[in-house]
């Protein structure tokens, strides 16, 4: 697939919508086989001059990898539909049905610092849940909840105002007469679909999930579907 032209403004890039291939069909669910996720660990830390770090605001329904391996005829969008920089890989994953910050790099040590639980790199998520949790409910997340793969570490959780963000396509499905609430949840773990499982555990299913920050990096000023090089 030919790459769309890239526009650059103040070191921020986005694919030209007019030139981008239109997707005419989207899968109806996310129960698909996960493609292999390429990782790497160099023998030594890269010099700063050779280090590449890219921040990408991933849209909903985009795979957090450059190829859709094992699905030759797939029309699912991947990172290559948005990013043309070679030899960089995502430091950690962001589920296809989640949005927000993805850090890409060619530095294996940086990748390890972001993804390994022992490094305790904090990641903050903006989470829209169904219902109106009270502080007594959120205290469970602050203390840690028991999931199938064990207890979670204490999370930082607070109710937040509705964020000024982009519209999602397709929009979330809301049920009549049932309110929704936005939470800011900060964790230093990275289990599979952890935040979604945490909110479901206390009775408030996640409707929309946006990763706002990883460590000191955030999506502030970064439009959805665009990236910037640090």
170-177 own/partner pairs: CB under 8 Å, 24+ apart: 172/128, 172/207, 172/208, 173/207, 174/130, 174/207, 175/130
User: Which member of 68, 73, 81, 95 is catalytic?
Assistant: 95
- Burial annotation 181-204 (CB, 10 A radius, 16+ → b, else e): bbbbbebeeeeeebbbbbbbebeb
Compute the distance between CA of residue 115 and CA of residue 215 in angstroms, rounded to an integer: 11
Q: At what angle do helices 135-143 and 194-201 cross, to 10 degrees?
A: 130
97 is catalytic: no
Please choose, from the candidates 180, 43, 207, the residue with its C-alpha nearest in 3D space to the C-alpha of residue 125.
207
Helical (H) or strand (E) element with 207: strand 206-214
Catalytic residues: 95
């Amino acid at each position: 697939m030919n790459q769309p032209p890239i526009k650059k403004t103040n070191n921020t890039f986005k694919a030209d919508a007019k030139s981008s291939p239109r997707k005419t069909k989207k899968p109806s669910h996310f129960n698909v086989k996960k493609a292999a996720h390429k990782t790497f660990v160099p023998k030594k830390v890269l010099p700063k001059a050779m280090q590449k770090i890219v921040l990408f605001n991933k849209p909903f329904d985009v795979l957090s990898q450059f190829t859709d391996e094992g699905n030759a005829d797939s029309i699912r969008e991947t990172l290559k539909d948005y990013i043309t920089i070679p030899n960089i890989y995502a430091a950690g994953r962001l589920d296809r049905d989640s949005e927000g910050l993805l850090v890409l790099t060619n530095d294996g040590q940086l990748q390890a610092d972001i993804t390994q639980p022992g490094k305790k790199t904090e990641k903050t998520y903006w989470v829209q849940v169904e219902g109106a949790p009270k502080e007594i409910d959120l205290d469970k997340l602050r203390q840690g909840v028991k999931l199938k793969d064990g207890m979670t570490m204490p999370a930082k959780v607070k109710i937040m105002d509705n964020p000024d963000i982009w519209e999602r396509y397709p929009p979330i499905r809301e049920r009549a007469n049932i309110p929704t609430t936005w939470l800011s949840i900060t964790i230093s773990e990275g289990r599979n679909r952890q935040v979604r499982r945490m909110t479901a555990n206390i009775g408030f299913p996640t409707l929309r999930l946006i990763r706002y920050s990883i460590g000191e990096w955030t999506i502030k000023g970064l439009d959805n579907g665009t990236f910037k090089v640090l």
